């Protein structure tokens, strides 16, 4: 239980006293973008500066899935079971078809190149929502220095028509995003402006109307230490956020319920494994996992 910190009694039944925090692999540069494929019984995860996507399974451990990956970052899975990914280097959203070929779904908005899509989620109606901060084009380490052509923004893509719409643009650095179980709420991490000594950093909470417009967007929770990057929601509607000291579990009313403490800062996480109750953790250079007593929301 050393790894578990109970901040609110509600958290006590959400974790397991006898479940260890396990190391699944280590020695990576910066892990991000984990996504669980239940029918393949495996996890895909990006090592961004190493320009590769890794695959992990219980039987096979960690292997290389795609290298180079275009400095892939966030991932999700669409309603047809296809891998949807963010490419920093190619400044686009990519879909891996079931035969393994790649399709660019979005790379420009009004004729200008996207910055470096960071994280992505799929909605039940088939739309793909993603964040587009400039982090991947600010440095050669995470994708390659390139000129930004668009302000940071949050987008919704209709893959059937190719229509791309800005759903929010009052961000300095939109990052991880997750829907509430009924998709009435969208949580978005505002990670702030890179290299800013006092960046704006907190999780925002938007209401989603029936026609997919966002409203509100007020501060929902401020993660300390560090800041929120990747987010996931469990089936009860609690928000699980990455933080500098591990993973924080936050109730839907914004209260910190508890933490899972890790030896290194966490950039992203996802539920997977049996019954979606295992939490896979991108802890900087180490891939970790812990079984919990909650289940991830069915949508990634
Ligand atoms: Mg991110």
User: What pLDDT, in 10s, does the model give residues 149-179?
Assistant: 999 999 999 999 999 999 999 999 999 999 9
Measured CA angle at 124 (ends 82, 44), to 5 deg: 35
Residue 197 pLDDT:
85
Measure 18 CA to ligand 1 centroid, in angstroms.
Answer: 30
Q: Give the model's confidence band at 299: pLDDT under 50 very low, under 70 low, under 90 confident, else very high.
A: low
Alpha helices in 109-252 (DSSP H): 135-138
pLDDT of residue 214 exceeding 80, the answer is: yes
Q: Which of 77, 104, 76, 100 is nearest to 90 (CA)?
A: 104
pLDDT of residue 216 exceeding 70, the answer is: yes
Domain extent listing, the chain: 4-291
Measure 266 CA to ligand 1 centroid, in angstroms.
Answer: 10
Measure 149 CA to ligand 1 centroid, in angstroms.
Answer: 20
Measure 83 CA to ligand 1 centroid, in angstroms.
Answer: 17
pLDDT of residue 129 exceeding 90, the answer is: yes
Contacts of 230 (CB under 8 A, 6+ apart): 32, 33, 34, 74, 119, 175, 176, 189, 241, 242, 266, 267, 268, 269, 270, 282
Q: Which of 255, 281, 273 is nearest to 6 (CA)?
A: 255
CATH topology of domain 4-291: Neuraminidase (2.120.10)
Measure 115 CA to ligand 1 centroid, in angstroms.
Answer: 14
- Mean pLDDT in residue range 216-239: 97
Q: Give the model's confidence band at 1: pLDDT under 50 very low, under 70 low, under 90 confident, else very high.
A: low
197 class by beta-carbon count within 10 Å (0-12 exposed, 13-18 middle, 19+ buried): exposed
Residue 269 pLDDT:
98
pLDDT of residue 198 exceeding 60, the answer is: yes
Longest dimension (CA), the chain: 54
Q: How far does Cα 168 stand from its chain's mean position?
A: 18
Measure 73 CA to ligand 1 centroid, in angstroms.
Answer: 7
- Mean pLDDT in residue range 72-91: 97
Q: Give the model's confidence band at 298: pLDDT under 50 very low, under 70 low, under 90 confident, else very high.
A: confident
Measure 33 CA to ligand 1 centroid, in angstroms.
Answer: 7
Measure 282 CA to ligand 1 centroid, in angstroms.
Answer: 11
């Amino acid at each position: 239980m050393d790894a578990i910190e109970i901040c609110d009694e509600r958290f006590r039944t959400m974790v397991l006293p006898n479940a260890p925090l396990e190391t699944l692999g280590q020695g990576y540069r910066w892990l991000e973008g984990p996504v669980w494929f239940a029918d393949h019984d495996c996890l895909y995860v990006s090592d961004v500066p190493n320009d590769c996507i890794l695959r992990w399974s219980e039987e096979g451990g960690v292997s290389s899935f795609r290298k180079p990956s275009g400095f892939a970052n966030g991932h999700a899975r669409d309603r047809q079971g296809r891998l949807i990914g963010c490419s920093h280097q190619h400044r686009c959203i990519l879909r891996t078809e079931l035969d393994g070929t790649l399709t660019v779904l979005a790379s420009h908005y009004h004729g200008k190149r996207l910055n470096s899509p960071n994280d992505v989620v799929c909605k039940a109606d088939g739309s793909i929502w993603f964040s587009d901060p400039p982090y991947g084009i600010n440095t050669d380490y995470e994708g390659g220095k390139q000129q930004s052509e668009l302000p940071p923004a949050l987008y919704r893509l209709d893959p059937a028509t190719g229509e791309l719409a800005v759903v929010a643009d009052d961000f300095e650095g939109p990052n991880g995003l997750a829907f509430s179980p009924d998709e009435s709420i969208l949580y978005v991490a505002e990670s702030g402006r890179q290299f800013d000594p006092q960046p704006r950093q907190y999780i925002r909470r938007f209401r989603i109307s029936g026609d997919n417009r966002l409203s509100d967007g007020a501060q929902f929770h401020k993660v300390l230490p560090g800041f929120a990057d990747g987010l996931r929601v469990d089936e009860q509607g609690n928000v699980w956020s990455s933080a500098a000291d591990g993973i924080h579990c936050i109730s839907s009313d914004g209260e910190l319920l508890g933490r899972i403490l890790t030896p290194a800062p966490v950039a992203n996480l996802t539920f997977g494994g049996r019954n979606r109750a295992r939490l896979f953790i991108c802890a900087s250079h180490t891939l970790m996992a812990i079984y919990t007593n909650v289940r991830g929301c069915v949508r990634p």
